[in-house]
Structure 1
Amino acid sequence: MQPIKLTVVGGGSSYTPELLEGIIANQKLLSISEVWLVDIPEGQEKLAIMERLAKRMVQKAGSPITIHATMNRRQAIKDADYVITQIRVGGLKMRRNDEYISIKHGVVGQETTGAGGFMKAFRTIPVILDICRDMEELAPNAWLLNFTNPAGIITEAVLKHSSIKVVGLCNNPINFYKKFARTYGVEGEDVRINFVGINHLIWITDLFIKGESRLEDILTGKATGYEAENIPSFGWDNEFLRSLGALPCGYHKYYYQTDRILGQQLEEYRKQRTRADEVREVEKELFKIYQNPEVKEKPKALEKRGGAHYSEAAIELIKSIHTDAKDLHTVNVRNNGAISCLPDDVSVEVNCLVENHQITPLQPGKVPPQIRGLLQVVKAYEELTVEAAITGDKGIALQALTLHPLIPSAEKATIILDEMLQVNKPYLPAFNEDDLSRTTREEVY
């Protein structure tokens, strides 16, 4: 097998040790010869810390992998076989602004959906497409594995505006497999799940344990606790679940329990203690640990960051692509008719057959109206968001935000959009000065 060059854009991320753990464990099978960690000047200090930790991890494992760290993205991408993107344009400061602006105006503040996810997509799409242009020139046969949130929207932008091979990844599906395996005391291969939806809006329409459907166990409350730990949990009403006929993911709470989530967030806002503030503290704690020269493996504290099993999702997918394993993976890909009620050219998150450098979405079956309604509305919002981010059309941006179920009116969308465009001016090259004419403050909250 030819040696693999793997490039991680956003290599200074606190998630990187999770990824490195999986890379090291599978080095021999995949013949991974070099890992390039690349970041931007603002992330230089974190990248240096991560480089030292990565080299200690490789040395402890006795692995032959060569670790490179650079701010020269083109050098890192040149001749890469796989490029993993895990970037946060604007850093945690802009994530905090996204949350605080949203909550201040009485809507849910969250980094991947609603007004916060909308603005994160706007900042990220131009950067991701710039990375794709480098790949088209320097590594045209490479796969882009995108973990950057909002993963579905970012993947769709690449699918529509780049020629490279891209797949979007999320740890939500693999977490479901892990949790159900624990619940029923079986191995992961004994669990099979039917998913339908888009990133952070997937429904489980059936659950099989050793070939037997066990969906009713959850719908009737016999088995619980299947959701991600970092998503607020208020519990699901069993009558609601039975009438839905499917299992929602943790992110559905923002839609199905909006009042309760918003009430909690308003209290956090008053205390200046939202999820963004919590993540800032976790990041500081993690990098203190990473700097310790005695640390030579992924620390347990990383679990607080919410990225559990993400390296497994990435490495298992690479294994399937590279070795023609013909495994099933739940990933974000071009729809191509898999979900019949959505356009062919959009990104969906469904089970896919992964073969030798080919990923084929599988049809999840008929989508009932109680799922189809919300799914189509949020997907239409995502389509408009991609179009607005590319064109810089403020009117399309307003329609996108107005359409989102978490934004109650066009009036509210207009106010939020104007303020977010001001604050994000340095990150929005597609928008003209008329839309971004007012002065941007360095820090709004």
Structure 2
Amino acid sequence: MRLTILGGGGFRVPLVYGALLRDRGEGRVSHVTLYDVDTARLGAVARVLADQAAGVEGAPEITATTDLDEALRGADFVFSAIRVGGLEGRAADERVALAEGVLGQETVGAGGIAYGLRTVPVAVHIARRVAALAPDAWVINFTNPAGLVTEAMSHVLGDRVIGICDSPVGLGRRVARVLGADPDDAWIDYVGLNHLGWLRGLRVAGRDELPRLLADPVALGSFEEGRLFGPEWLSSLGAIPNEYLHYYYFNREAVDAYQRAERTRGAFLRDQQAGFYDELTRGDGGAGTGTGAGAALGAWNRTLAEREATYMAANRDAAGIGERDADDLESGGYEKVALALMRAIAKGERTTLILNVRNRTTLSVLDADAVIEVPCHVDRNGALPVAVDPLPYHAVGLVTAVKAVEREVLAAAESGSRASAVKAFALHPLVDSVAVARRLLDGYTAAHPGLAYLRA
């Protein structure tokens, strides 16, 4: 199989390549094409991948290009992990929002809307090039905001674009671990939108074990989401929310923590990754701490460890829970999800994964084309969402409100309508004023040349 990675100079590409190196199954990926607009970043990541592949028999061949059409031709799968505007853009999203006293996180609230407004037009262009040059390819989308971008691309590619996220997988693993269950043997009842979902049950051998956890305050407080939300609130909800719901349930505290932080998350990652890429490209092309074998991979591993340890630091500060526990540092493994998804489609290895797909009739409160995040059965025909119980009213309110916001973002991206963009900001549950919405759009258009299309 041939895999193309869009955003091939991105920091997390080695995670995907590492998963490919561990795959020894028949018909595994034999060639990876890295596409990026930044040649220096492409070169740096290629050095890390070369270190990873050293001594691995049958390691997938790597090529790199800055030509999108060249990257897409002949691809069986296209993994999209682009970041329009880079980390500087993310930092600007945070600054503009916080100046108005609202949240600027990259996928939630004002920041997520700004990111979506500049990303959707690019994602739609990519979808059209895939349709023209690789019509039989499947697109696996990890570009944020993942649900919104997947829905935008589905208007061109239909069900041949599937969104992935590691948050639900990581949550399911942590809950299973606390309950003493093997995550691979558990059925995770999870439903919602990307970064807006709830784990409502965890069944082992047909029995739902979640009520046992919800009735045990000590056990609830023993893992990251329990500490973040508090056992009392989780018991009241009767579910374990995705960590991103902390921005909704504790919005004032989260905004205050972001405003007090020395740097926002985007600014931290911008500076951290600038140091990493500089280390791999300066001087004679070595890795700073040494130019020998494995130096590039060593630099990447150190940077990754720091990145994971500081994840959602402002939220933990708002909740007063301190640093992450070692058990919580394991990610959901989006690269493993991507590999399992590819193998299920290409080789017919039927599996069940939590994915971002078109709703069809799964949630009655949304239309058929709305992209949702739910467990799906996956095989050669793609991903089919499973039937789930209806959402409780409190979840219906959030899900439908945020989906309405996403639809306004899509309308603005398609038409260039400034009014639709303002409406997207104003309708979001975390933006409390139409006047603030107008000022947010003014601030974002001033910060991002890519939003100049919003004129109508």
Q: TM over 0.5, yes or no?
A: yes
TM-aligned CA deviation for residue 65 of structure 1? 1.8
TM-aligned CA deviation for residue 308 of structure 1? 5.3
| CA 337–123 in structure 1, closer or farther in 2 if over 3 Å, else same | same
| CA 410–24 in structure 1, closer or farther in 2 if over 3 Å, else same | same
Corresponding position: 1:406 with 2:401:
no
Please say if residues 190 and 211 of structure 1, whose CA atoms lie closer than 8 Å, have aligned partners that are also in contact. no
Alignment of 1:258-269 (within 5 A): 258-268=251-261
Amino acid in the other structure paired with 1:158 = M
Q: Which residue of 1 aligns with 2:393?
A: 369
- Measure, in 2, the Cα distance between the counterparts of 1:142 and 1:63: 23
| CA 303–180 in structure 1, closer or farther in 2 if over 3 Å, else same | farther
- Measure, in 2, the Cα distance between the counterparts of 1:403 and 1:32: 43
- Measure, in 1, the Cα distance between the counterparts of 2:104 and 2:78: 30
Among 49, 61, 67, the residue aligned to 1:66: 61
Please say if residues 101 and 420 of structure 1, whose CA atoms lie closer than 8 Å, have aligned partners that are also in contact. yes
Please say if residues 382 and 400 of structure 1, whose CA atoms lie closer than 8 Å, have aligned partners that are also in contact. yes
- Measure, in 2, the Cα distance between the counterparts of 1:77 and 1:431: 29
- Look up the SS of the partner of 1:99 in the other structure: helix
Q: State the superposition RMSD in angstroms.
A: 2.1
| CA 304–352 in structure 1, closer or farther in 2 if over 3 Å, else same | farther
Corresponding position: 1:387 with 2:411:
yes
Among 255, 272, 276, the residue aligned to 1:282: 272
CA displacement 1:289-317 (0-9 Å, x = unmatched): 76534327562541443565121111111
Q: Which residue of 2 aligns with 1:441?
A: none
Alignment of 1:135-154 (within 5 A): 135-154=130-149
Q: Which residue of 1 aligns with 2:18?
A: 21
- Look up the SS of the partner of 1:29 in the other structure: coil
Q: Which residue of 2 aligns with 1:420?
A: 444
Corresponding position: 1:294 with 2:309:
no
| CA 323–227 in structure 1, closer or farther in 2 if over 3 Å, else same | farther
Q: Which residue of 1 aligns with 2:368?
A: 344
Corresponding position: 1:431 with 2:454:
yes
- Measure, in 1, the Cα distance between the counterparts of 2:224 and 2:357: 23
- Structure 1: 5+ residue runs without aligned partners? 436-445
TM-aligned CA deviation for residue 11 of structure 1? 0.4
Corresponding position: 1:10 with 2:33:
no
- Measure, in 2, the Cα distance between the counterparts of 1:155 and 1:324: 23
| CA 308–24 in structure 1, closer or farther in 2 if over 3 Å, else same | same
Q: Which moved more, 1:150-159 or 1:380-389?
A: 380-389
CA displacement 1:209-228 (0-9 Å, x = unmatched): 44432212442323345447
Please say if residues 132 and 164 of structure 1, whose CA atoms lie closer than 8 Å, have aligned partners that are also in contact. no
Q: Which residue of 1 aligns with 2:112?
A: 117
Alignment of 1:28-427 (within 5 A): 28-40=25-37, 43-163=38-158, 165-220=160-215, 221=217, 222-227=219-224, 235-268=228-261, 271=262, 273-287=263-277, 292=287, 293-295=292-294, 299=301, 301-306=303-308, 309-424=333-448, 426-427=449-450
- Measure, in 2, the Cα distance between the counterparts of 1:75 and 1:284: 28
TM-aligned CA deviation for residue 234 of structure 1? 6.0
Please say if residues 105 and 416 of structure 1, whose CA atoms lie closer than 8 Å, have aligned partners that are also in contact. yes
Aligned-pair identity in percent equals 32
Q: What is the TM-score when the length of structure 2 is the normalising length?
A: 0.87
- Look up the SS of the partner of 1:30 in the other structure: coil
Please say if residues 377 and 386 of structure 2, whose CA atoms lie closer than 8 Å, have aligned partners that are also in contact. yes
| CA 126–324 in structure 1, closer or farther in 2 if over 3 Å, else same | same
- Measure, in 2, the Cα distance between the counterparts of 1:431 and 1:9: 26
- Measure, in 2, the Cα distance between the counterparts of 1:308 and 1:242: 24
CA displacement 1:154-212 (0-9 Å, x = unmatched): 00111124457100010112212332343244433222210110000011111124443
Q: Which residue of 1 aligns with 2:326?
A: none
Amino acid in the other structure paired with 1:377 = A
- Measure, in 1, the Cα distance between the counterparts of 2:69 and 2:410: 25
| CA 240–188 in structure 1, closer or farther in 2 if over 3 Å, else same | closer
Q: Which moved more, 1:68-77 or 1:239-248?
A: 239-248
Please say if residues 221 and 227 of structure 2, whose CA atoms lie closer than 8 Å, have aligned partners that are also in contact. no
- Look up the SS of the partner of 1:259 in the other structure: helix
Amino acid in the other structure paired with 1:299 = N
- Measure, in 2, the Cα distance between the counterparts of 1:64 and 1:243: 50
TM-aligned CA deviation for residue 373 of structure 1? 1.2
Q: What is the TM-score when the length of structure 1 is the normalising length?
A: 0.89
- Structure 2: 5+ residue runs without aligned partners? 281-285, 309-330
- Look up the SS of the partner of 1:133 in the other structure: helix
- Measure, in 2, the Cα distance between the counterparts of 1:397 and 1:225: 41
Q: Which moved more, 1:80-89 or 1:385-394?
A: 385-394
| CA 285–183 in structure 1, closer or farther in 2 if over 3 Å, else same | farther
- Look up the SS of the partner of 1:397 in the other structure: helix
Amino acid in the other structure paired with 1:20 = Y
TM-aligned CA deviation for residue 240 of structure 1? 2.7
